[in-house]
């Protein structure tokens, strides 16, 4: 390549070429000696637990975002600080209305959340949206596009939107999303909307995080058959038929009647509350205020009959058990002896040398032995004694 001050010209370009050869390469910042963009910016200050807590309680959105990133980190060095932060903020949590929203892809969940969230902000509420995005089992990545779909709401300073990956495991959804919920509550958001797509166990997981659970449905997508098969309808406090506008409005009203009939024969998801179906148009806003009236009536009912307090206590206990299970799974997955034994046993099974039932028993025996040894080592370390 020939060079001329700040421009590189490719070798294949003829000498004294005219403007018809427009290809050139600008000299890089490293070559010119100019500082890089990263070097020009000051290093971000490390925050202590007190810094995080003070920023969150004062409503600093940037520090709240950094705190959620800390919570979501899988690095062991971040775990202790994250748990210390949660402990410090616990007295300021639990005061929000926790609402779960689910539905099949294409039902218009994000559009509905933006319409509802915008309406709530205009009527004096502060709204946090936690969008649990399923992670790919192949690449482990997530799209995390909810802030893009909720363009109007994301610009409102009274709203906070945080898309988070599930991490590909139930434990990933449970711990990280629950702790994120506590952070936004401490930051003063009085309505927390937890969105999840209707995939696998995600609905049950979110149901155990929230007070009120809403299923968003649409017409013409096999919803009647899905209703007959029940499934998610058994855990929904209400069903909302979305896109009830234009030529689709009559179909939406018919679908609502069908859902109401199905719900009549199901046991209510919440004690003392009758699950019903409703319609709305997230595009025109019709039905949004009425849907919020239903939500407020739900909270008035469950707070009056004691179900609200009972459910919150059950959620905490479920959280404890899920955390314990996740910790055990991490111990098992990190144990090299267990991993080696599994590879050996799996090879014997695929070779036809060992029946599956016996193989499962041998893996369990290895797990029990290794976890027992790990427990003895931990006790010895705490007492300051050597372990042999």
Tell me what pLDDT residue 61 has: 93
Are residues 280 and 328 both part of a single domain?
no
Looking at the structure, tell me whether residues 154 and 184 fall in a common domain.
yes
pLDDT at 247 over 70: yes
User: 272, 306, 340: which is the final residue of a domain?
Assistant: 306
> How many structural domains are present in the chain?
4
Q: Are residues 237 and 100 in the same domain?
A: yes
- Does any domain span residue 357? yes
Instruction: Give me the long-range contacts of 48-51 (CB less than 8 A, separation at least 24).
Output: 49/81, 49/84, 49/85, 49/88, 50/88
Q: Are residues 16 and 164 in the same domain?
A: no
Measure the CA–CA gap between 355 and 65, rounded to whole angstroms: 50
Residues 63 and 165 both lie in one domain: no
153 in Cβ contact with 131 (< 8 Å): no
Picking from 306, 341, 359, the residue at the C-terminal end of a domain is: 306
Please compute the mean of the pLDDT values over residues 163-170 and round it to a whole number: 57
Q: How confident is the model at residue 79 (pLDDT cuts 50, 70, 90)?
A: confident
Average pLDDT estimate for 26-44 = 57
Assigned domain for 67 exists: yes
CB 183 within 8 A of CB 64: yes
Query: For residue 312, is it within any domain?
Result: no
Order of strands, sheet of 127-133, starting from the edge strand that comes earlier in the sequence: 159-165, 127-133, 191-196, 97-103, 212-217, 238-241, 276-279
The reply to whether 140 falls in a domain is yes
Q: Is 341 in the same domain as 264?
A: no
Closest by CA position to 224, among listed 268, 261, 197? 261
Whether residue 42 lies inside any domain: the answer is no
Q: CA of 124: how far to CAs of 91, 118, 119, 121, 151, in Å? A: 24, 10, 9, 5, 20
Question: Using CA of residue 242, residue 243, residue 249, residue 252, what is the dihedral sign?
Answer: negative
263 in the same domain as 159: yes
Whether 322 is covered by a domain: the verdict is yes
One domain for residues 85 and 119: no
Specify the DSSP class assigned to residue 246: G
Q: For tokens 């709530």, what's the residue?
A: 120
Among 111, 231, 71, 345, which residue's Cα sits nearest to residue 63? 71
Residues 270 and 324 in one domain: no
Question: What pLDDT, in 10s, does the model give residues 256-269?
Answer: 998 998 888 888 89
Average pLDDT over residues 311-317: 92
Instruction: Give the CATH number for residue 208.
Output: 3.40.50.300
- Pairing relationship of beta strands 191-196 and 25-26 according to DSSP bridges: unpaired
- Distances, alpha carbon 147 to alpha carbons 27, 121, 129, in Å: 36, 16, 9
Q: Is residue 25 part of a domain?
A: yes
Q: Is the pLDDT of residue 354 over 70?
A: yes
pTM for the full predicted model: 0.78
Is the per-residue pLDDT at 357 higher than 70? Answer: yes
Q: Verify that 344 and 297 share a domain, yes or no.
A: no
- Look at residue 194 in the predicted model and tell me its pLDDT: 92
Residue 11, pLDDT > 70, answer no
| Domain region containing 52 | 48-71+79-89
The predicted model gives 115-132 an average pLDDT of 94
Residue with structure tokens 């990190």? 334
Nearest-angstrom CA–CA distance, 129 and 152: 13
Least confident among 150-154, 173-177, 215-219:
173-177
Q: Are residues 98 and 207 in the same domain?
A: yes
Q: Is residue 171 part of a domain?
A: yes
pLDDT (tens digit per residue) in 332-342: 888 899 999 99
Neighbour tally for 150: CB within 10 Å: 24
Asked if 85 and 101 sit in the same domain, the reply is no
- pLDDT at residue number 376: 82
């Amino acid at each position: 390549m020939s060079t001329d001050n700040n421009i590189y010209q490719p070798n294949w370009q003829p000498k004294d070429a005219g403007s018809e050869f427009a290809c050139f390469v600008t000299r890089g910042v490293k070559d010119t000696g100019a500082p890089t963009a990263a070097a020009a910016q000051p290093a971000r200050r490390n925050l202590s637990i007190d810094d995080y807590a003070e920023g969150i309680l004062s409503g600093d959105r940037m520090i709240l975002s950094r705190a959620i990133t800390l919570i979501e980190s899988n690095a062991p060095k971040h775990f202790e600080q994250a748990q210390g932060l949660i402990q410090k903020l616990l007295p300021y949590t639990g005061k929000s209305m926790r609402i779960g929203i689910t539905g099949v892809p294409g039902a218009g969940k994000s559009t509905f959340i933006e319409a509802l969230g915008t309406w709530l902000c205009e009527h004096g509420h502060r709204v946090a949206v936690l969008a649990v995005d399923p992670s790919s089992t192949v690449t482990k990545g997530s799209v995390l596009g909810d802030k893009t779909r909720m363009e109007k709401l994301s610009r409102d300073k009274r709203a906070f939107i945080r898309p988070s990956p599930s991490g590909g495991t139930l434990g990933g959804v449970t711990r990280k999303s629950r702790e994120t919920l506590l952070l936004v509550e401490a930051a003063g958001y009085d309505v927390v909307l937890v969105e999840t797509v209707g995939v696998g166990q995600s609905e049950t997981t979110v149901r155990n995080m929230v007070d009120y659970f809403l299923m968003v449905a649409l017409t013409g997508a096999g919803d009647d058959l899905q209703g007959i098969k029940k499934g998610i309808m058994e855990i929904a406090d209400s069903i909302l038929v979305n896109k009830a506008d234009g030529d689709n409005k009559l179909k939406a009203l018919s679908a609502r009647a069908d859902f109401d009939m199905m719900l009549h024969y199901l046991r209510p998801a919440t004690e003392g509350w009758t699950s019903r179906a409703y319609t709305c148009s997230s595009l025109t806003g019709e039905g949004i205020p009425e849907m919020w009236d239903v939500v407020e009536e739900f909270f008035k009912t469950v707070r009056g009959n004691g179900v609200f307090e009972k459910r919150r206590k059950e959620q905490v206990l479920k959280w404890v058990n899920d955390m314990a299970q996740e910790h055990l799974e991490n111990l098992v997955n990190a144990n090299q002896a267990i991993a080696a034994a599994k590879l050996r046993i799996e090879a014997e099974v695929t070779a036809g040398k060992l029946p599956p039932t016996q193989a499962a028993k041998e893996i369990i025996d290895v797990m029990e032995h290794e976890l027992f040894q790990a427990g003895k080592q931990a006790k010895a370390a705490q007492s300051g004694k050597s372990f042999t």
